[in-house]
Amino acid sequence: MTKNSSVVVTGIGIFSSIGCNRQEFWNALMAGKSGIGPLQSFDPEGHKSQIAGEILSYDPREYFDRKEARKMALVSQLAVSAAIEAVKDAGMDLDKEDRSRIGCIIGSAAGDFHHIEEQYARFLQRGPRSVNPLTVPRVIANMPAGNTANALGIHGPNMGVSAACTTGTHAIGTALGLLRSGSADVILAGGTESTVTPFVMDGYASMGVLSAANDHPEKASRPFDLNRDGFVMGEGACVLVLETRAHAEKRGANVLAHVSGFGMTADAFGLAAPEPTGKWAALAIKNALNGSGVSLSEVGYINAHGTSTVMNDKTETTAIKNAFEGYDIPPVSSIKSMIGHTLGAAGAIEAAACVLALKNGCLPPTINYETEDPECDLDVIPNVARERDITAAISNSFGFGGQNGVLLFTKA
């Protein structure tokens, strides 16, 4: 790979239920801290799932005045705030940059359901003329990316990505391709989600995919454990500053990791259930390594999609075994055990975990792991973080509709 096609990560902005900056998030991961608790966003009485990984410490007034904040849904506020923090973390002065060469690819799987639910109830009660004129600009899925460009005054490639639970991963993969093609020097890439609402949660609950362990919220998300009973809803946002290596070197940036590959496939199997043999997910893993110069034997860590549902964890185990056939399978963990499933933000947050694992020489644990499942017989780094110096890590994301995405990161 040439210097001009090499892409690096130089900054991370993150908001999650366990931390709202890079260091706080990483410290919580290393401590195996759970960010899942009883629902605060609405009265959960009568709902099947009454727990979530909510962000309770975010204050939009730190980033916007009241008028700006009212124009944006929380899903956009989180995205813009994460982008601002990522640029700051990267040590980048936008006034010294060519803003036409800075892009933004930020996705959301669902968009602003808070506003949709509120405005539809208002519409039914008060009639057509009661609908807020900001409804469409708040709810359409591209607005986290659009609002970020507006807030930062950047004019390069800009788009929203929506690919269910693979959204954040696809956003970073799309940015990688644009940077390699020469379409931009810098792209702010990631995902955002805030869908802890009655309608969305009951929709997932009706599918039987949410955990009902309401009495023990901090233990409810238990990926790969024999007694897992579903995932826990979470909210969050993560934006990575991606730059061409040449641009990063020119400005003397601190490189956190290299983005060395991206693979994507489609199961073409069903609406929500994964293809049971995992062969297409396995192909996505292999595709991420194609042309990277990295062998499967060099991968030292896998950040699993690891939702904590019976079928998905089993299928992902099979996919990993298929991809690594003939090679030793590296340690695997799921940070959804701590933050829940953040849907469109998950791939980006988990990408950040891989970058930080490479930088810090330590692998995040899978907490709440108590009973081995014979069908998920991987080294899941149970309960305690593990010191290990690695040179390559992959992040898996698999979404409804059979959309598979895998990112490969290598050590700076």
Supply the pTM of this predicted model.
0.97
* Residues 85/90/94/97 CA torsion (nearest 10 deg): -160
Distance CA 121, CA 256 (A): 46
Rounded CA-CA distance 18/339 in Å is 7
Quick one: pLDDT at residue 5?
74
CA pair distance 101, 36, nearest whole angstrom: 39
| 341 in active site | yes
C-beta separation of 20 from 59 below 8 A:
no
305 is catalytic: yes
How do residues 256-287 score in pLDDT, each as one tens digit?
999 999 999 999 998 888 999 999 999 999 99
Of 77, 72, 41, give the one whose Cα is nearest residue 62.
Answer: 77
Catalytic residue, candidates 20, 114, 305, 362:
305
pLDDT of residue 96: 97
Helical ranges in 32-166 per DSSP H: 66-71, 74-89, 113-126, 135-139, 143-152
The answer to whether residue 165 is catalytic is: yes
Position 4 scores a pLDDT of 52
Q: DSSP letter for 374, please.
A: G
pLDDT tens for the 412 residues of the chain, in order: 455 579 999 999 999 999 999 999 999 999 999 999 999 999 999 999 999 999 999 999 999 999 999 899 999 999 999 999 999 999 999 999 999 999 999 999 999 999 999 999 999 999 999 999 999 988 898 999 999 999 999 999 999 999 999 999 999 999 999 999 999 999 999 999 999 999 999 999 999 999 999 999 999 999 999 999 999 999 999 999 999 999 999 999 999 999 999 999 999 998 888 999 999 999 999 999 999 999 999 999 999 999 999 999 999 999 999 999 999 999 999 999 999 999 999 999 999 999 999 999 999 999 999 999 999 999 999 999 999 999 999 999 999 999 999 999 999 9
Catalytic member of 170, 247, 258, 341: 341
